[in-house]
Structure 1
Amino acid sequence: MIWKELKKQWRFMDGVVIASLVVLSFVPLVVFSMNHKENSAKEGNIAIISIDGEEVDRFVLNEETKHKEKTYYPGKDKYNIVEMEGTKIRVKEDNSPDQIAVRTSWISKPGQTSICLPHKLVIEIVSGKSSDEKEEDDDMIITY
């Protein structure tokens, strides 16, 4: 009964308009992802490692980055082994009870983080753009 009512109200062009809007809704996603891939491939991203809120290391992650492991000792009887390879980084091993940072595995995109709370170790990926380039792209004016 409901289908008969809907069939009376439905027009062919309604379907065309709805289908077009659905397809067009994905255009920004495609454009931004293509732009993001080009930028990250050129500059590479930066991995910032901090312990207890203080930055201890900074690594550039790009295709030329060789495999590297580094061990951090954030406190007595605590350790974190961080592994880097190419454009990705991870906490390979630590002695925390929950192993959340280890289970997070590889991260490689700006905005991603790997956190080991008991050791207060944070790995954060940020875009490789320099601050000068960011200022040129920032044309937004906010007024109140």
Structure 2
Amino acid sequence: MGTKKEVFLVVLVVLGIIASVAGFKYYEGYYEGQHSGERIAVIIQDNRIIERINLDKVEKPRNILISGDYHNLIRVEKGRIRFEKSDCPNQICVHTGWLEKYGDIAVCMPNRVIVEITTD
């Protein structure tokens, strides 16, 4: 395990990610059925938006590789997104499966990556 400063920094980053997700949900009102807009998948790593994808307009399936402490392979298809593969220890992000509706979220805590479906 790392020094106290390293542990504090990791905890601070995780709390930042959680605060970001809570902020998105509060300000944009992510409750299923409230939005008639298009479904937007937002990929966030270390509290920064990596990519926004309009799932309703995806024409061809594609993969997105996210690097960091670990590697995540994210699969995007029309109307859905998921963590396809990851080399993180527990694979919880992969086992979450497909995200398809507003408010769906999957997180790879070891790589500090969040995938969430929001609206435009």
Q: Same fold (TM over 0.5)?
A: yes
TM-score bin, normalised by smaller chain? 0.5 to 0.7
Flag structure 1 segments of 5+ consecutive residues without an equivalent. 1-32, 129-144
- Is 1:93 the counterpart of 2:92 in the alignment? no
SS at match of 1:74: coil
The structure whose RCO (Cα within 8 Å, separation 6+) is larger is 2
Task: Give unmatched runs, 5+ long, in structure 2.
Answer: 1-31
Match of 2:100 among 90, 108, 116: 108
Give the corresponding residue for 2:48. Answer: 54
Q: Percent identity?
A: 26
Q: Secondary structure at the match of 1:114?
A: strand
Greater helix proportion: 1
Q: Which string of whole-angstrom CA distances, capped at 9 and with x for unpartnered residues, describes residues 61-82 of structure 1?
A: 015432011111023xx10000
Q: Which residue of 2 aligns with 1:70?
A: 64
Amino acid at match of 1:52: D
CA–CA distance in 2 between the matches of 1:74 and 1:92?
A: 16
TM-score of the superposition, structure 1-length normalised?
Answer: 0.57
SS of residue paired to 1:71: strand
Which structure has the larger Rg over C-alpha atoms?
1
TM value normalised by structure 2: 0.67
In structure 2, the CA distance between the partners of 1:55 and 1:66, relative to structure 1 (3 Å rule), is same
- State the distance in 2 between where 1:48 and 1:124 align: 5
Q: Distance in 2 between matches of 1:98 and 1:111?
A: 23
